[in-house]
Amino acid sequence: MVILFDRFNLPDDVFEIIFSTGQQKIVGRELLKYIAKNKGEITKTEMSAFATKLHDGVWETILDVPPYKGKRVKLSYNKRQFYDRILTPMKSMGLIDFDLYKKTYRLSLKFTSDLTKVSAMWRSEIRKLGLPPID
pLDDT tens digits, one per residue of 2-22: 777 888 988 888 999 999 899
CATH topology of domain 12-108: Arc Repressor Mutant, subunit A (1.10.10)
Whether the bond between 67 and the residue before it is cis, its omega within 30 degrees of 0, is yes
Domain map (residue ranges) of the chain:
12-108
State if pTM tops 0.85: yes
Distance CA 78, CA 55 (A): 5
pLDDT (0 to 100) of residue 68: 80
Q: Which helix (H) or strand (E) holds 32?
A: helix 22-37
- Cα 115 from chain centroid? 14
Answer yes or no: is pLDDT of 135 > 70: no
CA angle 9, 11, 15 (to 5 degrees): 140
Distance CA 52, CA 14 (A): 25
